[in-house]
Amino acid sequence: MSGLVARGVTVRAGERTILDGSGFTAPAGAVTALIGPNGAGKSTLIGAVMGLRRLAGGTIAFDDTNLLAMPAAERAKLCAHVEQFATTTERLTVGDVVGLGRVPFQSAWQAAPSAHDEAVVKAALAAMGMAAFAGRLYHLLSGGEQQRVQIARALAQEPRLLLLDEPTSHLDIRAQLLVLDVLRHQARAGCTVVLAMHDLNLAARYCDHLVVLDTGKVVAEGTPADVLDPDLLLRVYGVAATIVQVPGKPYPLVIYDSAPNTD
């Protein structure tokens, strides 16, 4: 299986071009991180893959099939999406929210979740360390707890393609490591995982493939060791950095030296 392949993706908002002919590959069975500064187009690219942003040009395929030509109901059985922010004032329990991940697989006349649905939801909650929260009201949770519930909801879809927009942004360090460990496990089980993130050291440690965006264009793509270099970080982020290879570790470490004076 080839995984996710985007070619020449262009997205416009009025007269403004947000993505300008961007293309990248997310290999099957791997974790791919979209990195780049704020406004580079990471969230828009994820939205385009999910069919949430209309393309002005380009193609998006998954396992050699046109992803955007699929009926929405079929795409929901294949892809799961975790937004950067997902809130509600509805009185839904955590278990209810995670159970939404099973909806694409339930028939219109199904009165209650099946035993398989319940088992999948239970496993997803446990994977995110949220099993004890199943009966709690979702809207009363902290931002980080809600984020873990949303990831559990995506896991409950049993997706072959999982896209997440900054899934570690509201999490403490322990929860960040938990989430990234789970995502890597999903990839090793055959899922294609794509996430937008800012922490380059977490990206280097947990991701197999990096895609660098800058002003709506993909400017670099490859393994963390191939992509993360001082010239690129200075050009894209405007920061001076040193790249260190930690003895005994397969991934590089980014040490930030300085940022330009913006006064």
- Whether 122 is in a domain gets the answer yes
DSSP 43-92: HHHHHHHTT-S--SEEEEEETTEEGGGS-HHHHHHHEEEE-S-----S--
- Owner of token pair 């977490």: 202
Residues 92 and 207: their CA atoms lie apart, in Å, by 33
- The count of domains in the chain is 1
Q: Which pLDDT value is given to residue 105?
A: 85
- Whether 143 is in a domain gets the answer yes
Tens digit of pLDDT for each residue in 204-220?
999 999 999 999 999 99
Q: Is 112 helix (H, G, I), strand (E, B) or coil?
A: coil
| Mean pLDDT of all residues in 10-17 | 92
Identify the domain containing residue 147 by its residue range: 88-157
In b/e form, how buried is each residue of 231-249, taking b as 16+ CB within 10 angstroms?
ebbeebbeeebebeeeeee
Residues near 247 by beta carbon (within 8 Å), at least 6 away in sequence: none
Amino acid at 172: D
pLDDT bracket for residue 263 (50, 70, 90): low
Which of 132, 129, 134, 208 minimizes the C-alpha distance to 172? 129
> Around Cβ 157, how many Cβ atoms within 10 Å?
23
- Whether 237 is in a domain gets the answer no
Tens digit of pLDDT for each residue in 85-135?
766 667 899 999 999 999 988 877 777 788 999 999 999 999 999 999 999
- Whether 139 is in a domain gets the answer yes
Q: Which pLDDT value is given to residue 106?
A: 83
Residues 186 and 171: their CA atoms lie apart, in Å, by 19
Mean pLDDT across the chain: 92
pLDDT bracket for residue 252 (50, 70, 90): very high
- Whether 30 is in a domain gets the answer no
- Whether 177 is in a domain gets the answer no
Tens digit of pLDDT for each residue in 83-94?
877 666 678 999
Tens digit of pLDDT for each residue in 20-54?
999 999 999 999 999 999 999 999 999 999 999 99
- Whether 1 is in a domain gets the answer no
Tens digit of pLDDT for each residue in 175-185?
999 999 999 99
Q: Are 183 and 31 in contact (CB under 8 A)?
A: yes
pLDDT bracket for residue 169 (50, 70, 90): confident
Residue 190 tokens, joined? 């055959």
- Whether 184 is in a domain gets the answer no
Q: Is 144 helix (H, G, I), strand (E, B) or coil?
A: helix
Residue 262 has pLDDT above 70, yes or no: no
